[in-house]
């Protein structure tokens, strides 16, 4: 944790100063500004006097050699770990952007670009390169090294999902909720349908922030968008529904200072919130941790026989009332009856074998089917198959690339290749 009092590690009970963990190298002094950790476990710390690397396994702390300072100070104001490269912004008047390849640790940091005024408050990726943000303006750094100034009135909106993927939008138009006529800015939710005027659905006071924080920083968890308002957490379901989505307000005692932050916890099952100028971190648990029955469309009660995962990530639930599926992105989404594109074999799904683009689904009565995306269809074709007198198959598993096997109370058969083989 980077704090005004220095660098700390939280061990589950208390904050431990990083200097107490250092067994080799210098001691950190002063304010810590940014921190990231790479896949090898090295912790990169942006301090007021430069960049440092800490290896927890050995306790080694070392400063990262950088070119001679030419600006007003050497603070590391921005850090980004992206595709095996560490990007960071240093100094003020001029501000500089460096890159350090983690795949070649023997190489030194390389100066990529500098601007005569201001400081780099944030660096983050988008589909066309890297976005560089100061307090007054923004730039896009292309993979070829060219830097383009972006429109000064554009706003930075970001949506980050629990799987780590994120989408950054730098424009003067709002975020659109997926597959809907509803749009979101940093302070307004409205509906806009073709040939109809905009209809405001909700308003709130936006969270104050500097260029270091996106104007609207959305975290997606369980098909719900979460973001910070002024002393509150806001939540909005993005599942398809007939009526307009209802905005949820949760009071949040964050200090009314600059830069309120919202991030996932380590297990990505909940959220953390904190603000500069306020001690401590608030833990949020939007996902209910207790065991509960899966909701079913029509409030039908299921007696479950088997649960498996399909190739597209959806949950397959076989019950004595039929076969049901659940959306892949949320354990709280309702289970819906599996709808076949063609007439499928009768019976209840008892097992599913997920492959790259399809799934072999076994059903009671000795039948099997393939589930390529949406519907269930009966599998068939040449190859070894159980005798009609054999007992129904009750298990299946992957046997290699493109193949799977199924077992019964008598013969065992394997089906190589794609589902049409």
3-class SS letters over the chain: CEECCEEEEECCCCEEEHHHCCCECCCCCCCEEEEEECCCCCEEEEECCEEEEEECCCCEEEECCCCCCCCCCCCEEEEEEECCEEEEEECCCCEEEEEEECCCCCCCCEEEEEECCCCCCEEEEECCEEEEECCCCEEEECCCCCEEECCCCCEEEEEEECCCCEEEEEECCCEECCCCCEEECCCEEEECCCCCCCEEEEECCECCCCCCCCCEEEEEECCEEEEEECCEEEEEECCCCCCCCCCEEEECCCCCCCCEEEEECCCCCCEEEEECCCCCCEEECCCCCCCCCCCEHHHCCCCEEEEEECCCCCEEEEECCEEEEECCCCCCCCEEECCCCCCCCCCCEEEEEECCCCEEEEECCCCEEECCCCCCEECCCCCCCCCCCCCCCCEEEEEECCEEEEECCCCEEEECCCCCC
Q: What pTM, to 2 d.p., does this model score?
A: 0.65
Q: In this structure, are 193 and 311 located in the same domain?
A: no
Out of 83-87, 138-142, 233-237, 385-389, pick the least confident.
385-389
Q: In this structure, are 279 and 232 located in the same domain?
A: yes
In-domain check, residue 81 = no
Q: In this structure, are 241 and 349 located in the same domain?
A: no
Q: In this structure, are 177 and 237 located in the same domain?
A: yes
Mean pLDDT of 405-411: 56
Q: Is the pLDDT of residue 200 over 90?
A: yes
Instruction: Grade residue 407 by pLDDT with cuts at 50, 70 and 90.
Output: low
Q: In this structure, are 284 and 305 located in the same domain?
A: no
At 373 the pLDDT is 44
Print the domain residue range for 367.
297-415
Q: In this structure, are 281 and 394 located in the same domain?
A: no
Q: In this structure, are 375 and 259 located in the same domain?
A: no
Mean pLDDT of 322-341: 73
In angstroms, rounded to a whole number, what is the distance separating the alpha carbons of residues 86 and 100? 5
Q: In this structure, are 264 and 171 located in the same domain?
A: yes
Q: In this structure, are 280 and 378 located in the same domain?
A: no
Mean pLDDT of 22-41: 93
In-domain check, residue 24 = no
Averaged confidence pLDDT in the chain: 80
At 318 the pLDDT is 81
Q: In this structure, are 346 and 406 located in the same domain?
A: yes
Q: In this structure, are 302 and 198 located in the same domain?
A: no
Domain stop point among 267, 290, 313 = 290
Instruction: Grade residue 393 by pLDDT with cuts at 50, 70 and 90.
Output: low
Residue that the structure tokens 């730039």 belong to: 139
In CATH, what number is assigned to the domain containing residue 395?
Answer: 2.130.10.10
Domain stop point among 272, 290, 308 = 290
In-domain check, residue 32 = no
Q: Is the pLDDT of residue 295 over 90?
A: no
pLDDT, tens digit, 9 for 90 and up, residues 248-276: 999 988 876 678 899 998 788 889 998 88
Out of 105-109, 223-227, 386-390, pick the least confident.
386-390
Q: In this structure, are 272 and 348 located in the same domain?
A: no
Domain stop point among 264, 290, 316 = 290
The radius of gyration of the chain's CA atoms, rounded to the nearest angstrom, is 27
Share above pLDDT 70 across residues of the chain, in percent, rounded to a whole number:
76
What total of structural domains would you count in the chain? 2
Q: Is the pLDDT of residue 383 over 50?
A: no
Instruction: Grade residue 188 by pLDDT with cuts at 50, 70 and 90.
Output: very high
Averaging pLDDT over each range in 114-128, 317-331, 378-392, which range is the top one?
Answer: 114-128
In angstroms, rounded to a whole number, what is the distance separating the alpha carbons of residues 319 and 311? 20
Instruction: Grade residue 198 by pLDDT with cuts at 50, 70 and 90.
Output: very high
């Amino acid at each position: 944790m980077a704090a005004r009092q220095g660098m700390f590690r939280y061990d589950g009970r208390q904050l431990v100063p990083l200097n107490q963990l250092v067994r080799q190298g210098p001691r950190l002094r002063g304010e810590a500004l940014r921190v990231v950790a790479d896949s090898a476990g090295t912790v990169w710390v942006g301090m007021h006097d430069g960049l440092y690397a800490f290896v927890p396994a050995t306790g080694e702390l070392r400063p990262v050699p950088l070119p001679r300072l030419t600006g007003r100070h050497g603070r590391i104001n921005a850090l980004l770990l992206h595709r095996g490269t560490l990007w960071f912004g240093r100094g003020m008047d001029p501000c500089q952007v460096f890159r350090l390849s983690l795949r070649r640790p023997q190489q030194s940091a390389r100066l990529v670009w500098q601007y005569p005024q201001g400081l780099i408050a944030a660096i983050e990726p988008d589909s066309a390169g890297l976005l560089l943000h100061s307090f007054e303006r923004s730039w896009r750094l292309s993979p070829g090294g060219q830097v383009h100034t972006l429109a000064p009135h554009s706003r930075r909106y970001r949506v980050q999902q629990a799987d780590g993927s994120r989408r950054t939008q730098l424009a003067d138009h709002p975020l659109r909720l997926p597959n809907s006529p509803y749009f979101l800015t940093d302070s307004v939710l409205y509906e806009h349908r073709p040939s109809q005027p905009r209809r405001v659905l909700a308003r709130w006071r936006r969270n104050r922030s500097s260029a270091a924080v996106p104007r609207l920083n959305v975290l997606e968890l369980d098909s719900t968008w979460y973001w910070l308002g002024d002393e509150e957490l806001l939540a909005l379901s993005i599942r398809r529904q007939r009526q307009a989505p209802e905005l949820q307000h949760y009071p949040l005692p964050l200090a009314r200072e600059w830069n309120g932050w919202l991030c996932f916890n380590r297990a990505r099952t909940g959220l953390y919130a904190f603000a500069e100028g306020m001690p401590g971190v608030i833990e949020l648990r939007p996902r209910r941790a207790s065991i509960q029955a899966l909701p079913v469309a029509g409030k039908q009660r299921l007696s479950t026989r088997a649960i498996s995962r399909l190739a597209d990530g959806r949950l397959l639930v076989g019950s004595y009332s039929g076969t049901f599926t659940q959306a892949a992105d949320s354990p709280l989404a309702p289970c819906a009856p599996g709808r076949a594109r063609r007439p499928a074999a009768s019976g209840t799904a008892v097992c599913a074998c997920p492959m790259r683009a399809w799934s072999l689904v076994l059903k009671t009565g000795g039948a099997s089917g393939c589930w390529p995306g949406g519907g269930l269809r009966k599998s068939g074709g040449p190859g070894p198959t159980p005798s009609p007198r054999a007992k129904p198959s009750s298990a299946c598993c992957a046997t290699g690339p493109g193949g799977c096997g199924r077992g019964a109370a008598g013969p065992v058969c394997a089906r190589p290749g794609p589902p049409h083989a």
